Structure 1
């Protein structure tokens, strides 16, 4: 992984890696033969996600900094999209998972798939779609990812109840679907906070959810999902700050200002840190990072500063992953850790450092006045698009969703199809479709 030396790590071979995983883990919802003997089931899963249209569409979905912001014609830094974030998350997760004994292809598949269901404009679009879909089960990006993997992305079909072909999506293995499930419960069933808006499955996707969760403890992530979840946090906390610095939105010197620091700590405590975390703990976390010799103390876009910033990102990723690896090994020993045999342990110090980084990006990038105006415009686009598509359906829908709309048994199901269509769009496609439907 970035930030440490893995040259001596002994990765499990193609046959040894099958050890901790059995037939139940490698089962598919619809059984199918292996077309190419010699590949593992999880290698096939990884290939299916890598070749999916849904993954390619993430290239057109903004992460935090809009493409084209910051840099010059020569030094354009090309900020992350959802696709590049997913690729970086996969690199972090693959190596952390392998170091702990997971099948690396399985963890990489989960990391590549974790953001597939995010709609245009990210969490901003998610809020609008959740309101629009309130009476048909709501909307949540992670639940949409599961729906996409098991229903929407066309790869495998089976006979439906009426004899017509029914999609089973990519038909991934049980272990891969479970590893990609960040929130393993339906809406309103959070194990400790029932009012939480986070959930991982819609009501009409419960059959496949129950299948993939067979034998799993209620509400508990499998070990591979925990690795994916921490890798996601690590990748986006580090890289969102990197993008913010390169775009000129974050000035490292601002983190020495009492007022700026207080705002960062308020944001971290409210949104990213464990409940009950105080400003003093968050200040200690930030100061630990500021004290590191590799921490960026300036950024002017020069080649030297670009290299220093890249090194800082590598150091942070190594710091966060090695801390989790060491703490997990201290608890569980040297055994290969898979599925429900262990819990990933992340020291509180690194969780708070990660939370502070997220808050820095939130305060200096996402809360900018220009960004707030853009977010308001995006909410209008998604809201009006939902209304227009509903009014014009099925004719206004793409062929795939038009057929699903015509086959839907009731208004609730038809509204879900409209939501699926919108969630599949890139930022640019949503903007263009909105323009065509509302102008002229």
Structure 2
């Protein structure tokens, strides 16, 4: 059996390119694996893509909500802390668990910290709304078959768009860290050739309509060979499974997302006792009656927002997708637990910015973080919709309920929808503006230097993909003439460029390219 230490200092988890040590420094072969991984985390955290996250929306914008609202940077730092804590805890797990961890390639705390720090680098402006809009624009207007996806963009940043002193393209991270960001280790289009299957038989993130490609994926076709190389050094990990370090990062992301975002909504005054209590207590009081409703009756109740109906719909959706773990009795216990601690606890004290309210939300957050990160299980042969590292059943159901509160009482709000409609127009204006500009032969040469350099590099990447793996084009019926390759490179570069903006940069540049701003030299901005 491979030892825990050996799995982290050898076995192919080395960097893509060997680097010469500084005078007097230990060589890569002399340094311990953890030292190698610390180089990775430093490169990630010193990256401008990482700094940019401080000005990218997590769920709700900071403007008008105070500085306490999380952005992508603060979220990433908290995911990193939770992930490290889980990984350290595995070192003290029972011997059988430690043996399984070692057999599957190990779980280094620094690797999971690095992956957690990097996991949201690919998010475009405006949070998940920006991701959806940019995907639609990329496929519809720019003609990119695999569109845009935040996880795939993260992998692309780490391996191609960012740079280090060792390589002009990519941060030259170890394979362990690159593999640990592959939450959905497949491309969008590789699912198209497979026959349709029920969602419960597909990995989480693929979606029910696999014939149109996966909803979530971790590499574009242009980066598929890189992903295959990274995963090749983890022979014990199945084709569509995360590495252990990736599973830990993914769980930490779920924990932070479900708990810290509720912290935000409480502080911002978005979560209100009356509405949340009516929904959760309404479901608890009428669970049997709601379970007896047919689909039409449930839909009618949802349309008029009858208390308990939305939670019943969420539970049925959970049962359908995750029958392998969904349990009606445990789900009810989770609803009762969240109702008792969130509704009848935290929300009974309206947030006023005072010390008592701050202590209450801090205590709530700590209780739930400790509960969830202490409920970890390692499995040698997990369900297709799970990872090798997962939450135990009660904690898993807790997260389902916490995410429901998040979705129902924040994401579904009409005032947020109005705001997001405007944000969508900003991204559409950016795509339109740069697409038209780059297709204007008389003026394309005056486009921003960074964009022109990116076009050249992306075109070279597509040319190499055509030469080495033409099947990625054939899978979507794409032709590969020189003109097609140039178009793909240009479109991918536009998407890369727009995705690299902060929220404020996106709004400012959109106003410039659409002709609605005359602040040409504002803040010394350079495109």
Distance 1:253 1:25 in 2: 55
Q: Which runs of 5+ in 2 are unaligned?
A: 92-106, 192-201, 283-305, 381-386, 439-443, 460-484, 517-527
- Show the 5 A alignment for 1:270-309: 270=317, 274-275=321-322, 282-292=331-341, 295-298=345-348, 299-301=350-352, 302-309=354-361
Tell me if the contact between 1:25 and 1:174 (Cα under 8 Å) persists in the aligned partners: yes
Tell me if the contact between 1:188 and 1:199 (Cα under 8 Å) persists in the aligned partners: no
Q: Which runs of 5+ in 1 are unaligned?
A: 1-15, 71-75, 159-166, 333-341
Name 1:45's counterpart in structure 2. 40
Name 2:309's counterpart in structure 1. 262
Name 2:267's counterpart in structure 1. 246
Change (3 A) 1:249 1:180: same
Distance 1:264 1:45 in 2: 42
TM-score, normalised with respect to structure 1: 0.84
Name 2:113's counterpart in structure 1. 108
Distance 1:406 1:77 in 2: 40
For residue 83 of structure 1, report the CA deviation from its aligned partner. Answer: 0.5
Of residues 196, 205, 210, the one that matches 2:228 is 210
Tell me if the contact between 1:265 and 1:359 (Cα under 8 Å) persists in the aligned partners: no
Tell me if the contact between 2:79 and 2:117 (Cα under 8 Å) persists in the aligned partners: yes
SS at structure 2 position matched to 1:133: helix
Residue-by-residue CA offset, 1:151-171 (whole Å, 9 max, x unaligned): 00121565xxxxxxxx33111
Name 1:5's counterpart in structure 2. none
Tell me if the contact between 1:382 and 1:430 (Cα under 8 Å) persists in the aligned partners: yes
Distance 1:400 1:345 in 2: 41
Distance 1:387 1:300 in 2: 42
Name 2:255's counterpart in structure 1. 234
Distance 2:399 2:388 in 1: 19
Residue 140 (str. 1) matches residue 144 (str. 2): no
The number of residues matched between the two structures is 399
Residue-by-residue CA offset, 1:29-60 (whole Å, 9 max, x unaligned): 12213444357110111111110101100111
Change (3 A) 1:32 1:385: same
For residue 268 of structure 1, report the CA deviation from its aligned partner. Answer: 6.2
SS at structure 2 position matched to 1:345: strand
Query: Greater RCO between the two (CA within 8 Å, min separation 6)?
Result: 1
Distance 1:360 1:178 in 2: 32
Distance 1:279 1:376 in 2: 37
Change (3 A) 1:120 1:34: same
Name 2:185's counterpart in structure 1. 184
Structure of greater Rg: 2
TM-score, normalised with respect to structure 2: 0.70
For residue 217 of structure 1, report the CA deviation from its aligned partner. Answer: 2.5
Of residues 421, 424, 430, the one that matches 2:506 is 430
Tell me if the contact between 1:255 and 1:261 (Cα under 8 Å) persists in the aligned partners: no
Name 1:82's counterpart in structure 2. 72
Aligned alpha-carbon RMSD (Å)? 2.6
- Show the 5 A alignment for 1:52-91: 52-70=47-65, 76-91=66-81
Tell me if the contact between 1:240 and 1:358 (Cα under 8 Å) persists in the aligned partners: no
Tell me if the contact between 1:54 and 1:116 (Cα under 8 Å) persists in the aligned partners: yes
